[in-house]
A and B are shown apart, each in its own frame.
Chain A
Amino acid sequence: MNAIEVKDITKSFRIYPDKGSQLKEKLLFRKRNRHEVRQVLKGISFTVEKGCSLGLIGHNGCGKSTTLKLLTKIIYPDSGEIKINGRVSSLLELGAGFHPDMTGRENIYTNASIFGLTKKETDARIRDIIDFSELGEFIDDPVRTYSSGMYMRLAFAVAINVDADILLIDEILAVGDANFQTKCFDRLRELKAEGTSMILVTHDLSSVEKFCDRAIWLNDGVICREGKAAEVVDAYYSFMNRRKAENSAPVPAVEEAPPAEETSPAPADDADEMDYSANRFGMRYIEITSVCMRDASGKDTRIFTTGDSLSIEINYKVNRPLDEYVFGFGFYTIEGACLYGNNTQLDRLKISPGTDTGTVAVDIPHLPLLAGKYALNAAIVDKDGTPMDFYRKYCSFEVVSDDRSEGYISIDHKWRTIR
């Protein structure tokens, strides 16, 4: 049997640029009441079987929350049909209807009555609710004296104990501390095992994968993909990565690293006088004019994909020629930990540039960094290691990835069973 059947629903909202609902405004500014119609859902159909859990994913504004609101009947669809078999409890807005002056116990009764429970039905559950909320003796204090965590625990405890046939959940992970969250998830699993159907809306893809049997990816009011949770999540994940990379505009390096004359401290004449803690320091016999990072297609960007190629080009200008320079680069975490650093000297490469300007590039065929934000260091030193021009955090860049491992570095691996 299907717990939820949704057939071809559409929903538009009227957007008033300047809404007037007073008589004066209605008469005087009739033109202002012209509204735009924004179609949020453009024909969505799906079913949820009894005891099945469904995850709704998609970027902001794709219609997830609207769908949930339609299912709770807070709003009504413009067309289409929604069939729901059983009692619905929603964890959309926890604690709506709590009265601050009433005690926790009184609020349990009120809140349960909002879910359609009679007093007798609530009496039968009150023990479970209080136990679950872990409020203990505080249950007879007015709700206004509760901390926000206690408030949420009580609200969650009520919503989850009303014996709903269908639970609608919007971003539940914001409830309480880690222990309570675990408890919530355990309880949800129990309920699921008992045959409660669930719809979960969240941005936390891993909880969709862990918790849901099926998932629907909504995009711009239509179903983009529907299927097993893991498959849909993977498809959504790589779509988001692609989009992020495509949308990134090439970043002109000058913006992040302004010309030396303007903001950096004056070049030091003597190595002893150098301020090594500065963002940029060095003797400036040779100077980094700009650094550019190119992705596999040669575009100057700040977003890269794990496993693709990356080139770093260091453009320099010679002020006072020396016979040898060492070029280096380093990848750092945003917190400042070094992930990798190397230079031409370590690689036993001798670079003796001329007396003018030029570029030294380093090519990384397969970028091993995992998804995240990183900082790039670029430096030129002389052969004894005296800094000529040392740039800490020249710029930050982002890596997107289909590899969802933990940490910073993607390591090639394969699992096998031995016995």
Chain B
Amino acid sequence: MNTLKEIFSYRQMISSLVRRDLRGRYKGSFLGFLWTFINPLLQLLVYTAVFSLILRTNIERYYLYLFVGLIPWIFFSSSLTGGAASVVAQKDLIKKIYFPRQVIPISYVTSCFINMLLSFIAVFAVMIVSGAGIYFPGLVCLPVIMAAEYLLALGAALLTSAVTVYFRDLEHILGIFSMAWMYMTPIMYDRSIVPQRLMPVFRLNPMTHVIECYRAVLYYKCMPDMKGLLSAAGLGIVFLVAGHFVFLKLQKRFAEEL
């Protein structure tokens, strides 16, 4: 509880780190902040090309189907892999001054989150331009889904960032791990094509629920499956609590290990 209070009192630091990160990310590049939109759009282009020209799915408006899942996934996977490196990257700060160490993964995940929110501008643009339209009642659920995903991402980042300090290989392992995770989550395909015996794995995967909730609201234009939403939020809280305790335990020797 004290830790939470302390982290809250450092909210200014979180916000300045987030701002620094967002401003610094595309600094010096010609297109600058536009990359926030261009990058996911280009990724979308690649995947759409592969899946509608070569692997041919029969999903209607596949680009949108993919897009509404891909953007949340990019947020989660960058929190996982980038978040792992975040504490090590700030070692100068950690070795020199005191502040609650959680501030670093929190700011990193938050800046990824804001990036996702900005990318959603592109998502809505695609929805309107393509004529798919927006389902307004579903939008009420969107913040809840996002919050659940934020908790998940933060829990993962707390865990990986603390472990990476002691075990630097994790950063590289996570690269491949997050790729595998992406393919084990129904982002590019529908869960209906998943073999029945693999279904338990998919059900345990919190990102399955998250992605499907997004898709329900933004693609299928219906209310998300409440059970799925609740289990996503529940798993998010479990992730966060676990990540928090591991972080708390490991952070004591950060300054010595870095």
A residues near B (Cβ < 8 Å) are: 13-14, 21-24, 26, 69, 72-76, 88, 90, 92-93, 96-97, 99, 101-102, 109-110, 112-119, 122
Contact among B16, B17, B97, B169 for A74, CB-based, below 8 A: B97
Inter-chain contact A21/B168, CB cutoff 8 Å: yes
* Contacts A13-B256, A21-B167 given; does A113 touch B10 at CB 8 Å: yes
Given contacts A13-B256, A112-B12, A122-B12, list 16 more A-B pairs with CB under 8 A: A21-B257, A23-B169, A72-B97, A74-B97, A74-B255, A76-B252, A76-B253, A88-B98, A92-B96, A92-B97, A96-B92, A101-B27, A110-B20, A113-B13, A114-B93, A116-B12
B99 located at the interface, meaning its Cβ lies under 8 Å from any Cβ of chain A in the complex = yes
Contact among B10, B12, B92, B93 for A119, CB-based, below 8 A: B12
A108 CB to closest chain B CB (Å) equals 11
* Contacts A22-B168, A76-B252, A96-B93 given; does A90 touch B98 at CB 8 Å: yes
B9 located at the interface, meaning its Cβ lies under 8 Å from any Cβ of chain A in the complex = yes
**Nearest 9 CB-CB pairs, A to B?**
A93-B96, A96-B96, A113-B12, A113-B13, A23-B169, A73-B98, A110-B16, A72-B98, A76-B252
Complex Cα spacing A24 to B173, Å: 13
Residue of A nearest to B92 (CB): A96
Contact among B12, B27, B252 for A117, CB-based, below 8 A: B12
Q: Is the interface of B mostly helix, strand, loop or mixed?
A: helix
Determine the chain A residues whose CB is within 8 A of the CB of B137 once the complex forms.
Answer: none
Complex Cα spacing A90 to B97, Å: 7
Which B43-90 residues have C-beta < 8 A from chain A?
none
Q: 1/0 per position for B149-189, CB-CB distance to A under 8 A?
A: 00000000000000000111100000000000000000000
Q: 1/0 per position for B21-34, CB-CB distance to A under 8 A?
A: 00010010000000
B203 located at the interface, meaning its Cβ lies under 8 Å from any Cβ of chain A in the complex = no
Inter-chain contact A74/B95, CB cutoff 8 Å: yes
B65 CB to closest chain A CB (Å) equals 38
* Contacts A72-B98, A97-B93 given; does A22 touch B169 at CB 8 Å: yes
A341 CB to closest chain B CB (Å) equals 53
Residue of B nearest to A77 (CB): B252
Determine the chain A residues whose CB is within 8 A of the CB of B13 once the complex forms.
Answer: 110, 113-114, 116
Complex Cα spacing A34 to B75, Å: 40
Complex Cα spacing A113 to B252, Å: 22
Determine the chain B residues whose CB is within 8 A of the CB of A99 once the complex forms.
Answer: 20, 24
Residue of A nearest to B168 (CB): A21
A79 CB to closest chain B CB (Å) equals 13
23 example contacts (A-B, Cβ-Cβ < 8 A) are as follows A14-B256, A21-B166, A24-B169, A69-B255, A72-B98, A74-B94, A74-B96, A74-B255, A75-B253, A75-B255, A90-B97, A96-B93, A99-B24, A101-B24, A109-B16, A110-B13, A110-B17, A113-B10, A116-B9, A116-B10, A116-B12, A116-B13, A118-B12
